Amino acid sequence: DIQMTQSPSSLSASVGDRVTITCRASQAIDNYLAWYQQKPGKVPKLLIYGASTLQPRVPSRFSGSGSGTDFTLTISILQPDDVATYFCQTYNSGPRTFGQGTKVEIK
Amino acid sequence: QVQLVESGGGLVKPGGSLRLSCAASGFTFTGSYMSWVRQVPGKGLEWISYITGSGRTISYADSVKGRFTISRDNAKSSLYLQMNNLRADDTAVYYCAGGLGWPLDYWGQGTLVTVSS
């Protein structure tokens, strides 16, 4: 089964900072990679699919990149509203495994 | 608008059974891939099962294979999860989620399952 490893597990950054989260698959998954945002006490929300395609109404400060085994989620200008835990998920084949999550906080 | 409403959670003893339901509305349920995802409060997301729109393709995580059964009734726009031989480590919030294929566009609010004696 494919394992998804996110790093870091948590980060603290200042408003306006550029934030990058990485997700590594244990084997190649082409671009079958999604990113979800889960704000405290809320339900997960799909942000990005196909590794780099933003869902409608997702702010353009979010971007995704990568293919194969290495992927990144970038928040170009961190906002207070971005405090959340971010999860990657593969939907290539087999189990639709999630990464363990990256908690983003404001410094 | 899209709504997924889970029900059926609760307290059950180890070895017991529960059946979760998810009522869908606001989108084309028949053509949608549907999943169950669980989350221990304060922890990460764990995908546990999905079913295609026709019901012909089903997949399970190893952690629930042989104990849980996913099913759907397209006439009722409903998704189900039959959970047998429950264990303490099955305690979690169970989300119904889905979309037109992958990934998971729509999410319910979740239902809490607690397995404890």
Residue among A43, A87, A91 minimizing CB distance to B110: A43
Q: Which residues of B touch A49 (CB under 8 A)?
A: 102-103
**Rounded Cα gap, residues A88 and B93, in angstroms:** 19
Residue among A89, A99, A100 minimizing CB distance to B103: A89
The per-residue pLDDT for range B69-114, each reduced to its tens digit, is 999 999 999 999 999 999 999 999 999 999 988 899 999 999 999 9
**Rounded Cα gap, residues B109 and B117, in angstroms:** 26
Buried b (16+ CB within 10 A) or exposed e, B20-42: bbbbbeebebeebbbbbbbbeee
- Total CB pairs under 8 A between chain A and B: 55
Neighbouring-strand partners of residue B34: B51, B98
Radius of gyration from C-alpha coordinates of chain A? 13
- Interchain CB distance below 8 Å, A43 and B105: no
- Interchain CB distance below 8 Å, A49 and B109: no
Provide the 8-state DSSP code for A3. -
The answer on pLDDT for B57 being more than 90 is yes
For A:36-55, CB contacts with B below 8 A are 36, 38, 43-46, 49, 55
**pLDDT at res. B101:** 85
A51: closest chain B residue by CA: B103
**pLDDT at res. A93:** 84
The per-residue pLDDT for range B12-47, each reduced to its tens digit, is 999 999 999 999 999 999 999 999 999 999 999 999
Q: Minimal Cα–Cα distance from B102 to chain A, Å?
A: 7
**pLDDT at res. B36:** 98
* B115 close to B88: Cβ distance less than 8 angstroms: yes
The answer on pLDDT for B63 being more than 90 is yes
The answer on pLDDT for A94 being more than 90 is no
Q: Which residues of A touch B44 (CB under 8 A)?
A: 87, 98-101
* A60 close to A74: Cβ distance less than 8 angstroms: no
| Residue B23 touches partner A, C-beta closer than 8 Å | no
For B:25-54, CB contacts with A below 8 A are 35, 37, 44-47, 50
| Residue A86 touches partner B, C-beta closer than 8 Å | no
Beta strands in B2-99 (DSSP E): 3-7, 10-12, 18-25, 33-39, 45-51, 58-60, 68-73, 78-83, 92-99
More confident residue, A92 or A62: A62
